A and B are shown apart, each in its own frame.
Chain A
Amino acid sequence: DQQVKQNSPSLSVQEGRISILNCDYTNSMFDYFLWYKKYPAEGPTFLISISSIKDKNEDGRFTVFLNKSAKHLSLHIVPSQPGDSAVYFCAASLNRDNYGQNFVFGPGTRLSVLP
Chain B
Amino acid sequence: DGGITQSPKYLFRKEGQNVTLSCEQNLNHDAMYWYRQDPGQGLRLIYYSQIVNDFQKGDIAEGYSVSREKKESFPLTVTSAQKNPTAFYLCASSYLVYNEQFFGPGTRLTVL
| A residues neighboring B (CB under 8 Å) | 2, 4, 6, 9, 32, 34, 36, 41-46, 49, 89, 91, 93, 97, 99-108
Contacts and interface: CB of A to CB of B under 8 A. Distances in A.
Contacts of A101: 97-98
B100 interface: yes
Nearest to B4: A43
Contact of B105 (A42, A99, A108): A42
25 contacts: A2-B42, A4-B42, A6-B42, A34-B100, A36-B103, A41-B105, A42-B106, A43-B4, A43-B92, A43-B103, A43-B104, A43-B105, A43-B106, A44-B43, A44-B90, A45-B103, A89-B42, A101-B97, A102-B45, A102-B48, A103-B101, A104-B42, A105-B35, A107-B42, A108-B42
A109 to B, nearest CB: 11
A100 B49 CA distance: 11
Nearest to B39: A107
Contacts of B100: 34, 46, 49
B56 interface: yes
Interface residues of B, number: 29
Closest 6 CB pairs of A and B: A43-B103, A105-B42, A100-B97, A46-B100, A105-B43, A99-B50
A36 B103 CA distance: 10
Contact of B56 (A44, A99, A108): A99
Contact of A9 (B40, B58, B97): B40
B107 to A, nearest CB: 10
Nearest to A95: B97
A32 B42 contact: no
A103 B45 CA distance: 8
Interface in B33-83: 33, 35, 40-45, 48, 50, 56, 58
